Every structure is written in structure tokens, then in C-alpha cells.
Amino acid sequence: MSTEPTGELPSRTVLLAAPRSFCAGVERAIHAVERLLDAPGRRAPVYVRKQIVHNTHVVAGLAARGAVFVEELDAVPEGATVVFSAHGVSPEVREQARERGLTVVDATCPLVTKVHSEARRFAARGDTVVLIGHAGHEEVEGTLGEAPQAMLLVETAEQAAGLEVADPSRVSYLTQTTLAVDETAGVVRALRGRFPLLQSPPGDDICYATTNRQLAVEAVADRADLVLVVGSANSSNSVRMVEVVRRGGTQAHLIDDASGIDPAWLAGARVIGLSAGASAPPELVAGVIEALGAHGAVTVEELTTTVEDVNFAPPAPVRDPS
């Protein structure tokens, strides 16, 4: 691995983007698993379908405490307790859980549930519903499952411009909650050019946390020589943050934790922007700052673009009785 030149280590500013790290939906999902694991007298395993959130450290930490992560419900014993991840599931998965007699704790983010509700409503009124999102993502699979006969997935503006539907006068769109705001706007413009009567969701489907973190990291990038985003490679919102910075012309890298820093990236970087995706634990950010300190004196500044005060109630099965 490349290293910086020997001699006196440089002094740097680490410019922290705020908001960063956990959002309300992620905290709600993680706490749901933690409450089940901490339940007095618990003897049976707590199963979680898929990763509860897309972060390797979160999943490893919960697994170390006894959570059992499975890909599909056929790996869960009949009658056991299973947690649905923050990304949501399709009605088909819910039916499978009922058939197996599973006790379900649904940790789907309420903002994903909102998109599911819109999909059902738009399909029920006879629309072709275009879902803007990334194929294969768990959130997309769950949303498509709400009305598979009426929904089409579009990933790019080029796909949108060439889309064919049965009735061009009855088309609506929804989006995955973790997309890049600027790219999604381009896809919507292409859809509107193709279908002038296109109907929008009543409010933005890209969630507040995704939008806020993109705006914050953009603000940091305007002053930085390099931006580091803490998050796992399968975290859509984290990957989008890196892409947004790069489109603005600033070098950016996604790292799972401090061990992912390549010292070669630091050469010539006197201001390093630092943020974290909505599923990345805050302590990983502190670890990156500590690691950067090994490469020279570090002054930490925080740039706040907005303050988040969103909270979601826990899933009903793990709420305090009071």
C-alpha cells in the first residue's frame, strides 16, 4: 500500500458533515432487535430476515449478541420469532410468515411503508406504476411485490424515455427511498416527457435522511480536497453520497471503517470531508478521525446544514407497555 512521504507529518482539517450516520428508521430497526435480544428470560433465538440494515458492523454486532440472520423464512423454525428488516418485505413474504406460524416483528422503516401504501393505492385506481429504483435491492423487491401486475421498474432516464405502457394517460411514479436526488430528478423529467399526464406521489419518496445526508456531504465537498463516506458497499444511501460528491468534482471514497483508508488518498489533502451513511454507526466516524490522526495533526470542524429531530415509535411487539 502506498504511504505518504517520510518527514514531518502534515496538519489537516477534518470537516464533519452534519447530519450523518444513523437515521430514525435505522435506529428503530436496530433497537427492535436489541429489545428482543434483551427480553427477560429469553431462551429462543431471535431470527432476522436479511440484514436488519445494510451495515456489516451492525449485523456482526447483533449476531455476536445472539441474533440469527437468514436469507429466507424457510430457514426459520415454525413458530419462532422473526424480524423483518428496515427495507421492508412483499406481501408474499408476509403470507409465508403466516403459513409458518411465525411471530413477526416488523421493523420496516415507516417511510418505506408509505411507499408501499402508495403503490397499492395507485395500482388500485388503474395506473401503471413506475418505480424508480435499483434492481435487486431489498426495498425495491418489497415495493414491487405490493402490486406486481401493475408495476414497472426503471433505473435510468434512458429507460424512462423508451418506456411502453398500456395506457399512457394513466401512469404514476414512486421512488426507492435511498436514491440520489439529482439523478432521480432526471429520471422523473424523462418520464414526464414521455407521459405528460404523469402523476406524482403526494410527497417526496426519497426520505429526509437520504436527502439531508446528500446535501450535507455536498456542502462539505465544496471545501474539501477529499471526502470519505463511512458505510458498507451494499448501503444504497452511502453509495449515493459518494456518487454525489464525485459528480461535483471532488475525490471521494466509501469505506466500511478506518481500516479502509488508503494513505495514498491523503497526499496533498489538507481538508478532508467526512460523513457516514444512514446505516453506519457513529463510533465508526470517531474511529476514522482517530486513524487520520496517525497521518498528521487533525483539527475537527463540523458543518451543519440541517438538524434532524425525527423519531419513530418502536414496532408494536417491542414497545414498552407504558
Beta bridge partners of 300: 14
Per-residue confidence (pLDDT) for residue 322, from 0 to 100: 62
* CB-based contacts of 303, cutoff 8 Å, min separation 6: 15, 16, 17, 18, 216, 219, 220, 223
CA-CA distance, 286 to 290, in Å (whole number)?
6
Confidence at residue 6, expressed as pLDDT on a 0 to 100 scale: 46
- The per-residue pLDDT for 143 is 98
Q: Give the residue among 90, 46, 92 at the shortest CA–CA distance from 69.
A: 46
Q: Pull the grid cell for residue 198.
A: 404523469
245-268: pLDDT as tens digits? 999 999 999 999 999 999 999 999
Q: What are the pLDDT digits (tens) for 221-252?
A: 999 999 999 999 999 999 999 999 999 999 99
Using CA atoms, how far residue 177 sits from 71, 113, 132, 256, in Å, is 22, 10, 10, 21
Provide the grid cell at 192: 414526464
DSSP code of residue 199: B
pLDDT at 2 over 90: no
Is 139 noted as a catalytic residue in this protein?
yes
pLDDT at 1 over 80: no
Look up the pTM and report it.
0.94
**DSSP for 266-294?**
GTT-SEEEEEE-TTS-HHHHHHHHHHHHT
pLDDT for the residue 79 = 95
Catalytic residue among 139, 141, 146, 218: 139
CA distances to 4, 83, 310 from 90, rounded to whole Å, are 50, 14, 26
φ, ψ for residue 193, nearest 5 deg: -65, -30
